[in-house]
Chain A
Amino acid sequence: MARVSAKQYPQPPVNADIVASHGLSAEEYQRIVKILGREPNYTELGVFSVMWSEHCSYKSSKIHLKLLPTEGPAVLQGPGENAGIVNIGDGLVAAFKMESHNHPSFIEPYQGAATGVGGILRDIFTMGARPIASLNSLRFGGFDHPRTSYLLGGVVAGIGGYGNCVGVPTVGGELLFDECYNANILVNAFTLGIAEKKHIFKGVAKGVGNPLIYVGAKTGRDGIHGATMASESFSEESEKRRPTVQVGDPFTEKLLLEACLELMKGDCLVGIQDMGAAGLTSSAAEMAARGGTGVELDLSRVPLRERGMTPYEMLLSESQERMLLVAKKGREGEIQRIFEKWDLDAVVVGKVTRDRMFRAFFDGAEVARIPVAALTTEAPLYNRPAERPAGQDELQRLDLEKIEEPKDLGSTLKLLLESPNVACKEWVYRQYDHFVRSNTVVAPGADAAVIRIKGTEKGLALTVDGNGRYCYLDPYVGGILVVAEAARNLACVGARPLGLTDCLNFGSPERADVMWQFSQVIQGMRDGCVALGIPVVSGNVSFYNETDGVPIYPTPTVGMVGLLPKVARHVTPWFKSPGDVVALLGRNREELGGSEYLKVIHRMVKGTPPWIDLKLERAVQQSCLKAIDRGLLRSAHDISEGGLGVALAECCMGGPEKPLGARIELREMMRGDARLFGESQSRIIVSLREKDLNRLREIAAKEGAPLQVLGEVGGSHLAVHPLVRVAVEELKSAWSSGLEKRLK
């Protein structure tokens, strides 16, 4: 392939316009000049722009993220690496992380989502862990928006197309729709992998003179400035950004995965990192930063897919399915043999140096020379102004007396069941392989997915959760609720949380209202994590989720992982047999603020999100867990969007088994719609044999959780006396058809 020489492609001069087009402020540019003691050349400017982008540097979020608790008895690796790691015993660890791929997925849904999956998979196997389960958290606009169906179809096909081909099951997820995501969808991808504790690898460049080895796919021009794009707001112009979206090749990823895991069985590897956002530049610089070293790259050796690529393009390309390794000197041959077996490139492209500099050469000429620290640990940090927006009080005002209660609550229940946020998501998850690797014990559709750990009695439960509407109405409370709900979902299957990962999706950090939302959400999440004892082990921040000046709802999503000591004891949400007692752990309150009911039936997003008492939350979760430990529960289901009415309907007909009715009595003195559709927190519907009721009562009393018998399983109707009585078949038909009938 013809190589360009430095002389053929002289670097363009750096001027104010070029600086601005790189997304760097005038102050940031001055800082660069000061660090270098000179003006940067064009290539260096590109390197700074990606490394100082919000996406890579976390410059607006870092000071807030420090508030989150990151330590716990199971934590082996907290934030700062490619993924977090928790100990699961038996000499095994679980590595997991969630990442956003919002902007690219809006521009090109199939490839944007596919490469989101590819990126998160690499983050996991770069730690030495074999990926065994993926989840995703998705947000789309309203169905009356012309692009929603197209975007949903493309994203789901992209996630499936990539994950299925790599052979990693997608075992769960969540999907919500709201107009605030019309022009800025969210695609957050989560993957978990299992490794042996003694075989964990990190992204670290150590050992002066050790070679840097480039492995995987060749470098092309795709994705140049992807990180910068992810750090800008959208406008009408965004369509033109399509070339910044990368193209995924899951087959190459599969080969790369197998080759890396084979390599990791030996002892020739020092460090390894995915070439993700900002590609070769960030993987080399970040590994050097962690190792306290420098790196020297010879770009002339980079395997290329296209002719005439410049050093600038090679350093900034975000071509997929590439990794950078640091190997022990003299062991290059062994590594090359393994990659040759898998038909992949493995090329020495540089070495670890002592001088703590990031240096790149091309055709013998030095094209970049920047201190590693300037690109990483000493990148700019901002404490941006934050201010509670003036309209927040008005937003939270909700006069229940002015809200008319529907006369026919049965029809209202059916309307809610067929609304897109509540309706069955099978159309989505049947496009994902959720069986491969034969570990899937609870497939998509339950409160949490459950996978078994082969060779042990254990299982892991996984869930992703988020509610942007709650966070919009009260970001602090919303932050608590997202953590509480995720933990409750784990409790419903019988798993105790080990840790969480998060994607924090927000508008522009340059707006005071958005920064207020951000800092409030973080404080809420911190309080939730501390109260429930859950550490944050990894995560990602996605700012600039706004279009033409309108930000999305603040949408933190949480991926939480829990352990089941005996996976055979897990519980599912669905009623099992007629005659079982139905009971409620927790307490109903008269609350409708921020509810799905208010949005769907009254077209209103107002009020304050449901109240939460973390002591009560803990008591309810502990009661559920202890009852499952003792084998008392036949089903357990969290009450969330749509309230008690929707949750009961799901218990009746949401599972793979034959639908069952229930006879329920709700005696509370409060409005019927609040009784049925209010979203009070800290509630779990359980069913059990009547003979076990007293033992459950004892547990609940000891933990301090309210327990109320609601009725019994049986019949062909869901009858909630005195409010509704609907045939389960009718509920099922509304719920099953809701999503598909809206897809054009």
Chain B
Amino acid sequence: MRWGVIVFPGSCDEQDVYDCLKRNLGQRPEFLWHKDRLKGKFDCIVLPGGFSYGDYLRCGAMARFSPIMQGVVEFAEKGGLVLGICNGFQILCEAGLLPGALVRNSSLQFVCRQVCLRVEETDSPFTCSGKKGQLLRMPVKHGEGCYYADPAALERLRKNRQILVRYADGKGRSSAAANPNGSLDHIAGICNEARNVFGLMPHPEDAGEKILGSEDGLKIFSSVIAACDKKEKKAWLG
């Protein structure tokens, strides 16, 4: 599979994504520099976490203007798979590839901790290897991860089953205590209507090995691999 991992100035987790794909899943990822145009063929483009351009304006607000992003938007529009993690999720929202916005955590503080995600939908290339209701343990680490969308947009997300993962406790129940940032409807990650663009706040790449506390993050990446291998993505992508 051909993975592209974008490096923005201020990206922090690009190496983690790269290593996770290569070391744990035997993939051959490639770094893509933000100043370049998107060239070549890819199955999945990853926008990693970090603080692109320092995030001194709104998170992700600068990165969407990077030269590479024009190609990413076109790639997504043609049905290419795009995965945004943390800052990558924020950038996808800013770029209009995903609805809604990520605002300041309700605690007003940066939060770093292990969380549980409940898999809500499995008919997406990002969750197809999981089971409905399955719990995935992985860390969050962000200051602005509180998902917000207006009531109409939220209703559309629910109706189209675009909410792929929600925060939950160890028993699978969503609650304020299990939600690290106060996000609307305990949303941890959503996809677009076409289901080929996925953004999530938690970091699957930091949960790729037992020794790091969890390997549940691999579910996300292996779903993508399975989807591409079986060429099943068409089924979901209509």
Q: State the A residues within 8 Å of B (CB).
A: 157, 160-161, 164-167, 249-252, 254-255, 341-343, 429-441, 443, 452, 454, 567-568, 656
Residues from chain B with a CB closer than 8 A to the CB of A438 are 16, 19-20, 205-206, 208-209, 212
Contact between chains at B16 and A431 (CB < 8 Å): no
With known contacts A164-B141, A167-B50, A430-B112, A436–B13 Cβ distance under 8 A: yes
B84-123 with Cβ < 8 A to chain A? 109-114
Say whether B175 faces chain A, with CB atoms less than 8 Å apart: no
Bound-complex Cα distance A166 to B212 (A): 21
Closest to A455 in B: B23
With known contacts A438-B206, A568-B211, A160–B110 Cβ distance under 8 A: yes
Say whether B203 faces chain A, with CB atoms less than 8 Å apart: yes
Residues from chain A with a CB closer than 8 A to the CB of B10 are 165, 251, 254-255
Chain B: interface residue total (CB-CB under 8 A): 35
Residues from chain A with a CB closer than 8 A to the CB of B12 are 164-167, 254, 436
Closest to A431 in B: B110
Shortest beta-carbon distance from B100 to chain A in Å: 23
Closest to A255 in B: B9
Of the candidates B9, B139, B203, B208, the one whose C-beta lies within 8 Å of that of A254 is B9
Bound-complex Cα distance A434 to B112 (A): 7
Shortest beta-carbon distance from B69 to chain A in Å: 17
B20-46 with Cβ < 8 A to chain A? 20, 23, 35
With known contacts A249-B54, A251-B51, A167–B13 Cβ distance under 8 A: yes
Contact between chains at B211 and A435 (CB < 8 Å): no
Residues from chain B with a CB closer than 8 A to the CB of A431 are 109-112
How many A-B contacts at CB < 8 Å in the complex?
91
Contact between chains at B15 and A437 (CB < 8 Å): yes
Closest to A130 in B: B15
Contact between chains at B53 and A251 (CB < 8 Å): yes
Residues from chain B with a CB closer than 8 A to the CB of A254 are 9-10, 12, 51, 54
Residues from chain A with a CB closer than 8 A to the CB of B212 are 435, 438-441
Bound-complex Cα distance A341 to B19 (A): 24
Bound-complex Cα distance A432 to B212 (A): 17
Bound-complex Cα distance A41 to B55 (A): 44
Name the residue in A160, A165, A429 with the highest tally of chain B Cβ atoms < 10 Å from its Cβ.
A165
Bound-complex Cα distance A252 to B212 (A): 30
Give 1 or 0 for each of B197-230: 1 = CB within 8 Å of chain A CB: 0000001011011011100000000000000000
Closest to B11 in A: A167
Of the candidates B50, B114, B211, the one whose C-beta lies within 8 Å of that of A441 is B211
Shortest beta-carbon distance from B117 to chain A in Å: 15
Contact between chains at B203 and A435 (CB < 8 Å): yes
Bound-complex Cα distance A452 to B205 (A): 16
Shortest beta-carbon distance from B134 to chain A in Å: 21
Bound-complex Cα distance A252 to B51 (A): 11
Closest to A343 in B: B9
Q: What 6 additional pairs, Cβ within 8 angstroms, besides A157-B110, A164-B112?
A: A160-B110, A165-B54, A341-B35, A430-B112, A435-B112, A438-B16
Bound-complex Cα distance A438 to B217 (A): 12
Residues from chain B with a CB closer than 8 A to the CB of A454 are 19, 23
Residues from chain B with a CB closer than 8 A to the CB of A161 are 110
Contact between chains at A436 and B206 (CB < 8 Å): yes
Shortest beta-carbon distance from B214 to chain A in Å: 11
Give 1 or 0 for each of B176-191: 1 = CB within 8 Å of chain A CB: 0000000000000000
28 contacts between A and B (CB under 8 A): A161-B110, A164-B110, A165-B12, A165-B51, A165-B55, A166-B12, A167-B50, A250-B51, A250-B54, A251-B55, A251-B56, A254-B10, A255-B9, A343-B9, A430-B110, A430-B112, A430-B113, A432-B110, A434-B141, A436-B12, A436-B13, A436-B206, A438-B20, A438-B205, A438-B209, A439-B212, A440-B212, A452-B211
Shortest beta-carbon distance from B223 to chain A in Å: 19
Shortest beta-carbon distance from B219 to chain A in Å: 16
Contact between chains at B19 and A435 (CB < 8 Å): no
Closest to B170 in A: A658
Bound-complex Cα distance A432 to B109 (A): 10
Bound-complex Cα distance A438 to B213 (A): 10
Shortest beta-carbon distance from B208 to chain A in Å: 7
Residues from chain B with a CB closer than 8 A to the CB of A656 are 114
Bound-complex Cα distance A158 to B143 (A): 13
Bound-complex Cα distance A161 to B20 (A): 26
Of the candidates A157, A341, A342, A436, the one whose C-beta lies within 8 Å of that of B141 is A436
Bound-complex Cα distance A443 to B114 (A): 11
Shortest beta-carbon distance from A586 to chain B in Å: 30
Contact between chains at A342 and B112 (CB < 8 Å): no
Contact between chains at B139 and A435 (CB < 8 Å): yes
Closest to A170 in B: B112
Contact between chains at A435 and B206 (CB < 8 Å): yes
